[in-house]
A = this chain, B = another copy of it.
């Protein structure tokens, strides 16, 4: 464990942890995300994660396996070593963003089913639902141009 974490880094890890926790991520997963961001080398071995975060091996094992399935984390090995060096799959951020933005629009399915199932005792409410639904569909169509616009603007 080469790097010693500053207080600022420790606090930042916790803040990142809470942030993700509030969005439905398991607490330890959020902290591992934070740790791997904050470390200068942006990687850590299994044992380092255990030591930095003061948690059990089993908790880390479960969290890391889950995060690998979710495609958030990968590991590499170094010649002659058996240790795994875990790091965030940062290259994949565009995909990740796309998924996140699209997730908002997932509600359309439910909204549409609600609209279908409602008897028209309250048309103005149904119209509201329809409008939200239309907006979400509009947003979905605009996602690609959001990425294009960004690339154009910076490139």
Residues facing B in A5-64 (CB within 8 A) are: 6, 8-9, 12, 15-16, 19, 22-24, 37-38, 40-42
Q: Report how far A8 CA is from B112 CA in the complex, Å.
A: 13
Number of copies: 2
Q: Are A40 and B121 in contact (CB under 8 A)?
A: yes
Return chain B residues, CB-CB under 8 Å to A119: 40
Q: Are B154 and A134 in contact (CB under 8 A)?
A: yes
Give the shortest distance, in Å, between A85 (CB) and chain B (any CB): 12
In the complex formed, the residue of B with least CB distance to A43 is: B122
- Report the interface size class on chain A: 35 or more
Q: Report how far A107 CA is from B9 CA in the complex, Å.
A: 16
A40-B119, A125-B42 are known contacts. Are A138 and B110 too (CB-CB below 8 A)? no
**Which of B110, B136, B146, B150 makes the CB contact (< 8 A) with A12?**
B110
Decide yes or no whether A91 CB sits under 8 A from chain B: yes
**Which of B9, B24, B90 makes the CB contact (< 8 A) with A117?**
B9
A22-B24, A23-B24 are known contacts. Are A91 and B40 too (CB-CB below 8 A)? no
Interface residues of A (CB under 8 A from B): 6, 8-9, 12, 15-16, 19, 22-24, 37-38, 40-42, 87-88, 90-91, 93-94, 97, 100-101, 104, 106-107, 110, 113-114, 117-122, 125, 128-129, 131-132, 134-136, 138-139, 142, 146, 149-150, 153-154
A–B pairs, 8, beta carbons within 8 Å: A6-B117, A19-B110, A38-B118, A90-B125, A90-B129, A91-B128, A97-B135, A104-B104
